[in-house]
Amino acid sequence: MKSYDCIIVGSGISAFQLAKHLDKNKQVLIITKLTKEKNNSFKAQGGIAAAMSNDDDWRLHYEDTIQAGCSFQKAQEVEALVKNGPALIQSLIDEGVPFDLNEEGDIRFGMEGAHSRKRIVHSGGDATGKNVMAHLQTTTNDNIEVIENQFVYECIMSPTSNRCIGIRSKSQEGKNYQYFAQSIVLATGGMGGLYKSTSNESSITGDGLALAYRAGAELVDLEFVQFHPTLLHVNGACKGLISEAVRGAGAVLYKGNGERLMGNEPPFFDLAPRHIVAKSIYEARTSGSEVFLDISMIQDFSTKFPTIASLCEENGISINEGAIPVIPGAHFLMGGISVNANGETTVKGLFAVGEAAATGVHGANRLASNSLLEGLYYGKKIAQYLNELSDEGAQEFIEVRTKESVEILELPTKKEIQDKMLHNCGIVRTQVQLENVSKWLEKYAVAHESLASYQTPQIERLFMLQVAKLIVTAALTREESRGAHQRADFLETSNEWQDIHMIQSKKGIEKRALYEQSQVEVNA
């Protein structure tokens, strides 16, 4: 048994930003399912949004974020996020992160969907996530221990205080471990791996959501799953992400018959909010048309987008021909583990940060390049909060629970779960589809008191089934179309749902108002 001041589950940008800003006298553990490079932050091709240019302002960034999220955010959190963006970027610049510059030696700002200004900063063209993560990982303090290739399968709860006091994990060889800490932070990312087509690292399957749910924490707004419009599609399979920055550089979507997909009239074109573009591609493909991204107008494409160029060439798509076949894929979860402004969940001692957390900044649809910004902002903010927390008393230790004989439930394969979710709870949903997959998932709704005797692949699938059931239930309950949640059997946004959020916890699933959306005065 080992004890720490803080345990961080996950290894993305929010995890390392949090660890970096914790006091150096704190003993910190970062524990991750695979290696520390196997996360969505490391794969992020897009940049970081920040209102830093001369013709930009935080108020414009705020307005774009609110509009893209269909006015479903915690306005005060959005304001804080966008106000802090420039300072967060400047701190990375001061520390030596090589952001891309223009001919005059100033930061080059790119354009992405639903932004009213060029405000996206990149590093290495389409390698922003890789470069920022490399910086954070190589500048960690000596008080930070990193354990790789251990799957965290349980939050340890105190039987006396109902507080989260540690975690249980399993090595790839099946050996069980347990670690204790004053604060446990879930930074496990989203759940894109629940779907057949996804931009996510394959190991991102909603583990943190399942861990929090099993610990008794509330989850919120799980119906809002963003599908990125442009994933490389070759021989019937998704091969990787084609960043929105490509469309920001001028690329255009076309149907197989040569007709422009998004039309020629303002205000949106090809840089509409992601749910609009993804739905348009979905509808075109449903009607039998392939969709291509025309990049012929982008000079020096391989220099500007080296990662994407290599991805295309590796899969037999010639950049010189200028047409990239694309398909939408699961990309980002706007909902997640319900947290307050300091990352605290509804379970004492348990925190969440990054995509796993529902901070309220994304609403019903995330604005492009706000995700890395969210990780940087809340990672630092939660660290500052934890630094000020007092020691809450003696550390508790609990022996790991195992059973001599456990009846192992026969589970569907990972691919079966992914197929069911894509076809029944994907870009466009109906009540019939959702009810069908809900009934299928109910067959596996078995309570598991202890997972110590299970192997990692089985636990991962149990977690996937649990999270899938929660998402489907939320999607069934929201009888409207809003942002990334598109119900074909209901009209667009209804006022009745304006401030109502779906709460899901082990206590039951209910509708209730979480907060009254505050109004932030925005001056022109």
Which residues form the catalytic set? Answer: 274
Give dist(CA 205, CA 34) in Å, integer.
Answer: 13
Q: What is the SS3 assignment for 407?
A: coil
Give dist(CA 463, CA 430) in Å, integer.
Answer: 24
What is each CA distance from 311 to 98, 100, 111, 318, in whole angstroms? 23, 21, 22, 10
Rg (CA), the chain: 22
Give dist(CA 100, CA 121) in Å, integer.
Answer: 7
Cβ-based neighbours of 355, under 8 Å, separated by 6 or more: 12, 14, 40, 189, 190, 332, 333, 336, 371, 374, 375
Based on the number of CB atoms within 10 Å of its own CB, is 31 exposed (0-12), middle (13-18) or buried (19 or more)? buried
In the numeric block, which tokens belong to residue 517? 């959306």
Three-state secondary structure of 83-122: HHHHHHHHHHHHCCCCCCECCCCCECEECCCCCCCCCEEC
Say how many CA atoms lie within 13 Å of 203 toward its Cβ: 21
Q: Which residue has the tokens 């609009």?
A: 276
Give dist(CA 356, CA 329) in Å, integer.
Answer: 18
Give dist(CA 524, CA 18) in Å, integer.
Answer: 35
Give dist(CA 451, CA 465) in Å, integer.
Answer: 15
- CA nearest 34: which of 21, 44, 45, 43? 43
